[in-house]
Each structure stands twice: as structure tokens, then as C-alpha cells.
Amino acid sequence: MGLSERLRNSGSPEEKWLILGNEAQKLIRKKGKIKKENILDVTDFVNFRVHKKLYPFGKIIANAHIKKYGPNYVTNILTVESSGNAFAVLVGEGFYESMIFARKTIPITVKDEELYSSEAESYTKGKKNKIVIKKSFIKPEDRVLIIDDFIARGNATFALLDIINQAGAELAGIVALITKDYKGQEGYQKLKKYIDDYNTDHENKASLNSLVRIKGMSTTPENIKFYKSPLILN
């Protein structure tokens, strides 16, 4: 039975999420490559090319939120260019909401406009990037869902959280395609603590979810260890 048929025959978004997560793990083991310093190369199915098996990601996320909170709970989808763009678009389509991507360069066309900005260090590129968003894109009344393709140390995600706070908007949640969660790669745990603290102070709760959560790396992708990673909305 193929992936599409298995997803059709499953019931809740939570069931579909686990099915898709298993497929994503298979892609990592089959197409992933281990580079120096335990960097996981996912260019064959995430960065340079998005594998068709990952297309349901957006619809599953959207349907889960709509089922729990209603169709108007999430008002903006936010990511950092460029690898997260495709997955943020898939999620935006599921909600039929706009997708915003923070730029790492300031085009001439917006240099005279008011911008939110923050700074994030790239783990794979080893340099700091200033990311910017037009202030007119996020309002205090917005509830924003962050989408990330890959969370290692969480720097880019924290930069987006900073921008949401600057705008005075609410956080609906953070959803990643892949996260690393082990010693030296503590982005997931730091974000989990941020979400726990956020929920203590806010009536509308936020959630942190990852389709795939890596428990431990290996010298070969076939031996990468994964946590169970169910879809849970607070």
C-alpha cells in the first residue's frame, strides 16, 4: 500500500503525522548523507529538492490546528528563507493563509520601509545573518505559526520569535520538519522551555512539534536513531 493510500485510510491528523514521520525517517536513512561535524545533508529531499512524499506535511499541520482551534486561529505562517519556504507554502496552502519569509538580504525595493530585524547564526554555514520582515506584514492581533525545515541549535527560530515579540503578536506554535535533539544540538530543548514559559504567561497556548526528531547521529544515515514524535497541540 502506497503512502497516499495509507494517509487516505487513516483517521485523525495525528495518525497521518506518524505515518508521514515514518516516511521521512526512511528518506533520511536512504537519501541522507553524513558530513563532517555530524552535519546531516538532506539536499536530495529537503533543501535542493523537496521529495513528493513530504507534500502532505502542510495539509496535516493545517487540518490538526483547524480541528482543534477552528479555521481562523492561525493568521500568519512565518519562516526564514530559503529552505523553509517550500514547507511554509505547503502549510499556508493548508490554512489558506499568507506565508511570510524573513529575508537575509534587504532588497532595494524595501530599503526605505519600516522593518523588523533580528540576528541568527547559521549552524551549517557558520556565519551570522541579519533577517528582516516588513513591519506591515505582522500586526499585534496576529497569531503566528513558525515553520522550519531543520532545527539544530534553534538560532533561526529564536530570531523569528524575537520578531514576533517585536510586533506584539501571539505565537500559535513552532513546527519543524526535522530536529536534532541530543547533546551539542539543544535547539529543540531550548525551544521547548521557551514554549513552556510562554504558555505560563499566555491564555492562548503554543505548541512545539517536529515531524522527525533525531535522538543520535551515526557515521552512516542507516543507523541514525529517532525519538517517537507524535503531533501534540496544547
For the domain made up of 3-226, give the CATH fold: Rossmann fold (3.40.50)
- Residue whose C-alpha cell reads 542507516 in the numeric block: 222
Rg over CA atoms, the chain: 17
Q: What CA–CA distance (Å, rounded) separates 209 from 181?
A: 12
Domain boundaries defined on the chain:
3-226
User: Nearest-CA neighbor of 142 among 120, 112, 116, 178?
Assistant: 116
pLDDT in tens, 137-181: 999 999 999 999 999 999 999 999 999 999 999 999 999 999 999
Q: Give the predicted TM-score (pTM) of the model.
A: 0.95
Residue 126 has pLDDT above 70, yes or no: no
Q: Are 58 and 93 in contact (CB under 8 A)?
A: yes
pLDDT in tens, 87-103: 999 999 999 999 999 99
Q: What CA–CA distance (Å, rounded) separates 166 from 140?
A: 9
Q: Alpha helices, DSSP H only, in the chain?
A: 3-9, 13-31, 56-69, 85-95, 155-167, 187-201
- The pLDDT of residue 166 is 98
Query: For 80-84, 119-123, 227-231, which range has the lowest pLDDT when averaged over its residues?
Result: 119-123
Question: Other CB atoms closer than 10 Å to residue 67's CB: what's the count?
Answer: 13
DSSP state at residue 103: B
Specify which residues 145 forms β-bridges with.
77, 173
